[in-house]
Amino acid sequence: MYNLIVRPLLFRIDPEKVHRILLNWLKFYRYLLPLRSCVRGHYKVFAPFSYGNLHFKNRVGLSAGFDKNAETFDELADFGFGFLEVGTITPDSQPGNPSPRILRLVKDESLISRTGFNNCGVDITLEHIRKNRKHSYMLGVNINKNPLSAGEQIIKDFELVFTRLYESVDYFTLNWGSIDHESFAKVLENLTTFRQTANKRCSIFIKLPADIDERALDLVISLACKYSIEGFIATGPTMDHSELHQTETKQLEKIGNGGVSGRGIGKKSQHVVRYLSKHTDHHFLIIGAGGIMTAEDAADMVSQGADMVQIYSAFIYSGPSIVHQIGKKLKY
């Protein structure tokens, strides 16, 4: 029904407007308790997986970017996700880049996005998490600095968001490439110092871009070892548009720059997962993300060395049923 009726109707509307409609619907759905109970029962996939202090109901997660402001993660969990990641969250609220900033490439089953760090800021995010978290799942948050911060302020920005949210989430994700390498190392050192004095241990993952080269991967691995980082998410979008074979060149030129997610990411994410798996000897949790549009894609990612997967574009293109399909495929 989603592919035949719902998606064609939604895809007639601007992507960001559709997204707001879906978030508003989820907020209304929040209060339909009998329906929510039925939905949770229908989509439930119980295939426990543990890593350190993290205990997942299954191996399928929702990537950051869908619930930027931590408004509807609890409702989204009803559709079978074992873990969900909100954000990206910065210290202060941000408007992001001008619209249009999310575009669908339906023939290529892809999205191009250039949203920036549009979010409500750490204080409102914390209010949302405290108010809305009701059920059992792992909750992560992708964090970053304010766009104009530089120098030592970068370290302070990360510390502010990290310490404010630390007691309310299960893990944090930092994006490699969003700040310079020297600052990234200083941020990890600072956050490691805080974790050593905290009452609980909250995991840190590093999210890698799809276009990262092997030299940078070696540097990231060495930093992860030095600062006892728990794992990697591989990968975010690619800036390479060469795998968008079904979309006309003129349309791509009109759209312009932006990160490609979905089918158009090609095999880049699998390559990074394979490299990490080969060069870390299973000392880190590896979450495969990018290019996973079907249950078979998820299984392929696991075969390359991923322990778990995250999806985003697949949820847009295939609807909630894809979570259950992938969860069952990875049930082992």
Active-site residue, from 63, 149, 178, 318: 178
R_g of the chain computed on alpha carbons:
19
Residue 55, helix vs strand vs coil? strand
Q: Is 99 a catalytic residue?
A: no
Task: Give the DSSP letter of residue 190.
Answer: H
Sign of CA dihedral 20, 21, 24, 30: negative
Q: Give the Cα separation of 131 and 126 in Å (integer).
A: 8
Query: Would you tell me the crossing angle of helices 122-132 and 152-165 to the nearest 10 degrees?
Result: 20
With CA atoms as reference, report the closest residue to 296 among 318, 325, 263: 325
Q: Give the Cα separation of 303 and 286 in Å (integer).
A: 12
The residues that bridge with 94 in the sheet, in sequence order, are: 119
The residues that bridge with 84 in the sheet, in sequence order, are: 62, 139
Number of other residues whose CB lies within 10 A of the CB of residue 219 = 15
Q: Give the Cα separation of 33 and 155 in Å (integer).
A: 42
Query: Catalytic amino acids?
Result: 178
